[in-house]
Amino acid sequence: MDEILTRNFCIIAHVDHGKTTLSDRLLEHTNTVEQRVLTDQHLDAMDLEKERGITIKSHPVTMHYRAKDGRTYKLNLMDTPGHVDFSYEVSRSLAACEGAVLLIDAAQGVEAQTVANAHLATGQNLKVIPVINKIDLPSANLDLCLQQLEDILFIPHDEAILASGKSGIGIQDILEAVVTRIPPPRWRDHKGTRALVFDSLYDSYRGVITYARVFSGALRAGDGMTLMSTGQKAEIKEVGIFTPKMVKIDMLGEGDVGYVVSNIKDTSDIKIGDTITLTRQPATEMLPGYKEVRPMVFCGLYPLESNDYEKLKAALGRLRLNDAAFQYQSESSIALGFGFRCGFLGLLHMEIIQERIRREHDVEIISTYPSVVYHVKAHGLPEIDVDNPVLLPDPGTIEYIAEPTIRASILIPNTSMGDILSLIMEKRGVIDHTDTLDANRVMLTAILPLNEILVDFNDRLKSVTHGYGSMDYELGEYKADDLVKMDILINGEPVDAFSSIVHRSKAEGKGRELCEKLAEIIPPQMFRVAIQAAIGGKIIARENVREMRKDVTAKCYGGDITRKRKLLEKQKEGKKKMKQIGKVSIPPDAFIQVLKN
């Protein structure tokens, strides 16, 4: 097929605006998937995606469509995630396309992530086709959506297509807009062969399978290929396209999106954003690729059974291949043994990775409390990055600790304004400015410490706004604040797994909460054990673990009471001596229960 008749596009939108359902209708309308095998959310292949009703990975698929002009076009579609934690997946898909279909929910209007995705697309000079989806809902407000399209996104309202992914309204119009508005593949005139690596996965039978978009030249089985960033050479064993299953073909030509199977077996040899070229006639310059992504949230992952360490290491290596935003390195803990320090884009990203390790690789893991990267300056030393409280220098030598902040765009109903302002103040945030979008909704721009939004901010935002609030954020600058390291001491010994960096104003409350939780979970000991939260040498909270007490006077019934007292004193002396030399063994269950909470 002539590459002039190829169109590469993706579907972008806020969470739950109907991207995957619309892609189902496109597959159905172009007869790419037979009706008898088509399922709801057909491109969501992972069990986790189907269970949670969200897209985690972008999914490529090739369709053929006969347009009104009588010509048959090849359409390469990418269904992308909507959640802010997976925006890196969206940017990778956009780099492999020339256009984007931007979905807006007719009932919800323009949301925070809609704005972010639209900016991502226009920033890469892609043609954006606005689609108002779910127009058959009783609560649909088309006039408001068209107004917001112009006021917030600066897109003329007459470019919008009205559609419904559920009932199939407007599908033909979307396909016609794709072939007429989106330009043919770009950068075809380059002399050498160049293909962009936008994803990859590991297959236990075939090794590393690379997902690539060919910009110029062609890739065939038997060709020698070179990865331009590392100079790694390999032989191409097979090429193919997604329909959405992998289908082997003879050649991937200009504008094609498909997969490449080579004799590369090591997951670390493939880098997302790399350029593939032919070894015999290499290209002179690489494709732009992607900017390096930096993890924002860190936690320790440890195997529940210590002999599963190698299994966990292999699992992390394979997940890293498939997810360039995920990073890890080895570390060890006195309490938990050998494990890995892992970096993620956000809390949902962390949750998904942990669940995939358990399900796909059958490794039970413990994770430590999530933290962020702090900039720490000690007297007479250069500034260092610290992502683990254990690595902090001596508190007496620290000049300052700076924490990362985020610039959050929070879309909320007017009625929730007071509650949201209280929540932002509680999380040590400040409002930068407020924009009124329409009669019912406002957009707040707030500066918040990243550490404060890690655990429960999004849940509470949804709760306070009854599900109507949404948030998008980008990393801001680092700001120094009154941050301290809080240790948890058990019988006077610090336990590194429970150490954390907190703001001084919140340390006492958090310390008391953790001590109470541990006192409930740790089983009774032979002597009274103190659980303390401490900042430096100052104790800020304390609880006691219950002590076992044997009734030593059980057989002393009747007679002189001094015998009973003597036995009790002897027991008391024994417990005092035990307290000096005794060790408290914390069961693994206690770590799991506390760290889960």
Positions at the binding site for GTP = 16-21, 133-136
Say what the pLDDT of residue 461 is. 86
| Confidence label for 152 from pLDDT (cuts 50, 70 and 90) | confident
Is the pLDDT at 213 greater than 70? The verdict is yes
E-assigned strand segments in 415-469: 430-436, 441-449
The mean-pLDDT minimum among 35-39, 468-472, 491-495 falls in 35-39
- Is the sign of the CA dihedral 279, 281, 284, 289 positive or negative? negative
Say what the pLDDT of residue 27 is. 85
Please report, for the chain, the start and end positions of each structural domain, with discontinuous segments joined by +. Answer: 3-181, 194-278, 297-370, 375-481, 485-596
Name the nearest CA neighbour of 367 among 375, 358, 376: 358
| Confidence label for 578 from pLDDT (cuts 50, 70 and 90) | low
Is the pLDDT at 333 greater than 50? The verdict is yes
Query: Residue range 357-382: average pLDDT?
Result: 86
SS3 state of residue 329: strand
Is the pLDDT at 486 greater than 50? The verdict is yes
Say what the pLDDT of residue 44 is. 47
The encoded tokens of residue 254 equal 């200009």
CA–CA separation, 378 vs 397, rounded Å? Answer: 5
Residue with tokens 């994770």: 367
Query: Residue range 7-36: average pLDDT?
Result: 82
Is the pLDDT at 43 greater than 70? The verdict is no
CATH level 2 (architecture), domain 3-181: 3-Layer(aba) Sandwich (3.40)
Say what the pLDDT of residue 113 is. 80
Of residues 82 and 337, more confidently modeled: 337
Q: Which long-range CB contacts under 8 A does 353-357 form with residues at least 24 apart?
A: 353/319, 353/323, 353/326, 354/301, 355/48, 356/46, 356/48, 356/319, 357/301, 357/312, 357/315, 357/316, 357/319
Say what the pLDDT of residue 223 is. 92
Q: Which CATH number fits domain 375-481: 2.60.40.10, 2.30.30.60, 3.30.70.240, 1.10.8.100?
A: 3.30.70.240
Query: Residue range 158-163: average pLDDT?
Result: 92
Is the pLDDT at 39 greater than 60? The verdict is no
Query: Is CATH 3.30.70.2570 correct for 485-596?
Result: yes
Name the nearest CA neighbour of 323 among 251, 270, 264: 270
Q: Same fold for the domain at 297-370 and the one at 485-596? A: yes
Query: Residue range 393-400: average pLDDT?
Result: 86
E-assigned strand segments in 20-175: 59-66, 72-79, 99-105, 127-133, 161-162
Positions at the binding site = 16-21, 133-136
Pairing of strands 251-252, 246-249: unpaired
Say what the pLDDT of residue 172 is. 93
Q: How far is CA 453 from CA 296, 359, 426, 448, 456, in A?
A: 12, 27, 11, 8, 6
pLDDT digits (tens, 9 = 90+) for 276-332: 999 998 888 888 766 666 777 888 888 888 888 999 999 998 888 767 778 888 888
Which DSSP string corresponds to 2-38?
-GGGEEEEEEE-STTSSHHHHHHHHHHHTTSS-TTT-
194-278: CATH class: mainly beta
CA 273 to chain centre: 19
The pLDDT mean for the chain works out to 82
Say what the pLDDT of residue 581 is. 46
Q: How far is CA 571 from CA 89, 389, 526, 561, in A?
A: 64, 40, 11, 16
Query: Residue range 2-23: average pLDDT?
Result: 84
Query: Residue range 480-499: average pLDDT?
Result: 85
Query: Between the ranges 13-22, 104-113, 209-218, 578-587, where is the mean pLDDT highest?
Result: 209-218
Topology of domain 297-370, CATH? Alpha-Beta Plaits (3.30.70)
Say what the pLDDT of residue 40 is. 56
Peptide bond preceding 244 in cis form (omega within 30 of 0): yes
Query: Residue range 91-109: average pLDDT?
Result: 87
Is the pLDDT at 407 greater than 60? The verdict is yes
Query: Residue range 543-559: average pLDDT?
Result: 69
Query: Between the ranges 30-39, 366-375, 417-426, 497-506, where is the mean pLDDT highest?
Result: 417-426
